Amino acid sequence: MLSYILRRIAYALPITLGVTIICFSLIHLAPGDPLSAVLPDNAGPDMREQIKIAYGFDKPLPVQYLLWLKNVATGDFGLSIQSRRPVVSEVLPAACNTAYLALAAVLIGFPFGILMGAVAGYTVGGWIDRAVTSVAVTGVSVPHYWLGMVLVVIFAVNLGALPAMGMGPGGQSSYAFDWAHLRHLVLPAITLAVIPAGIIARSVRATVADIRRRDFVGTLQAKGIGEGRVLYHVAKNAGPTILAVAGLQFAQLLGGSILVETVFSWPGTGFLLNTAIFTRDLPILQGTILVLSIFFVFINLVVDVLQTFLDPRIKRA
């Protein structure tokens, strides 16, 4: 078990390095001189020179990469072009807000998706199954940024029941668990939860239906064990698959939230990215992507390891 975990971590390391290479090249992908990409508009020639040396643009690319990597490893992601503040101090609060929203979406979407999928898997071919499958396909196909707009029209414009923008009253972004703050969370979290709920419902349905067809379930039933105990065995067998799908979906939520945050002006990474793109603030763009993708790699690692704890038969390279 330990050797598997170590091997899995050893495998994640080159991936992480690859991720940093892609993030590094983002600045060099930008059209024009990478220097002008990180330079404020009003920079004089001496500032130009200063930044050129600070970023190491006078050195060859591999050296630049290593220097950049060294800085990143010590938590120095450079300065935002717009605010001149360290990128880290802009990205981290935004990442927390995104994680907060993503967690809320997980709490809404995952139990719902698992329940729907399990019920459908138990009633394959019946009307419940067909209803769940249609709902799931809808959830998978819907453009969630549009769904967000529809929810705004219904609940904010027509009913006036829930706020359409921001994270708290008066545009503040603090974590208070009273209704005044939580009501801001409702619409974006539901919007974000729809796609993972659909995907999870589909996978859980397929997994549960598959397991229920296996011989051991028939044996259990033939032995006269109560349906509740059979359910326990089915759940135990479906667990690892569901965990894998759910983990991947949680990680995808981080990316998917870019569009939802834009719709609801949620002060998270998506909102930050969007602003960074239109002000050509490439250091912020780079920093945000790097933090999110490394987190993504980390979650995948955790899911894989958890899976082997749940089902020791899985020993993948």
> In whole angstroms, what is the distance from residue 3 CA to residue 248 CA?
23
Taking CB under 8 A as the criterion, the residue among 14, 62, 125, 160 binding other proteins is 14
Number of residues that bind other proteins (CB under 8 A): 62
> In whole angstroms, what is the distance from residue 36 CA to residue 207 CA?
52
Contact letters for other proteins, residues 156-195 (x by CB under 8 A): -xx------------------------------------x
Residues of this chain, 263-302, that bind other proteins according to CB under 8 A: 263, 273-274, 276-278, 282, 285, 289, 292-293, 296-297, 300
Taking CB under 8 A as the criterion, the residue among 22, 47, 54, 176 binding other proteins is 22
- Axis crossing angle, helix 87-122 with helix 227-264, rounded to the nearest 10: 140
Taking CB under 8 A as the criterion, the residue among 1, 13, 21, 66 binding other proteins is 21
Smaller CB separation from other proteins, 33 or 227: 33
Q: How far is the CB of 74 from other proteins (least distance, A)?
A: 22
Distance (Å) of CA 196 to CA 57, 136, 310: 42, 9, 22
The amino acid occupying position 244 is A
Residue with tokens 């999870």: 200
Contact 142, 194 (CB under 8 A): yes
81 binds other proteins (CB under 8 A): no
- Exposure of 171 by Cβ count < 10 A (0-12 exposed, 13-18 middle, 19+ buried)? exposed
Q: Which helix (H) or strand (E) holds 250?
A: helix 227-264
Taking CB under 8 A as the criterion, the residue among 4, 5, 8, 15 binding other proteins is 15
Q: Which residue in 198, 191, 196, 205 sits closest to 136, CA to CA?
A: 198
The pair phi, psi for residue 86, each rounded to 5°, is -60, 140
> In whole angstroms, what is the distance from residue 170 CA to residue 303 CA?
38
Taking CB under 8 A as the criterion, the residue among 95, 209, 244, 272 binding other proteins is 244
Q: Which residue in 270, 281, 247, 283 sits closest to 97, CA to CA?
A: 270
Contact letters for other proteins, residues 106-145 (x by CB under 8 A): -------------------------------xx-xxxxxx
Taking CB under 8 A as the criterion, the residue among 38, 132, 238, 254 binding other proteins is 254
Taking CB under 8 A as the criterion, the residue among 248, 264, 268, 283 binding other proteins is 248
Smaller CB separation from other proteins, 175 or 311: 311
Smaller CB separation from other proteins, 146 or 309: 146
User: Which segment (8-16, 113-121, 183-191, 217-225) binds other proteins by CB under 8 A?
Assistant: 8-16
Contact 141, 135 (CB under 8 A): no
Residue with tokens 């349906």: 227
Q: Could you list the residues that contact other proteins (CB under 8 A)?
A: 14-16, 18-19, 21-23, 26-27, 29-31, 137-138, 140-147, 149-150, 152-153, 157-158, 195-196, 199, 202-203, 206, 241, 244-245, 248-249, 251-252, 254-256, 258-259, 262-263, 273-274, 276-278, 282, 285, 289, 292-293, 296-297, 300
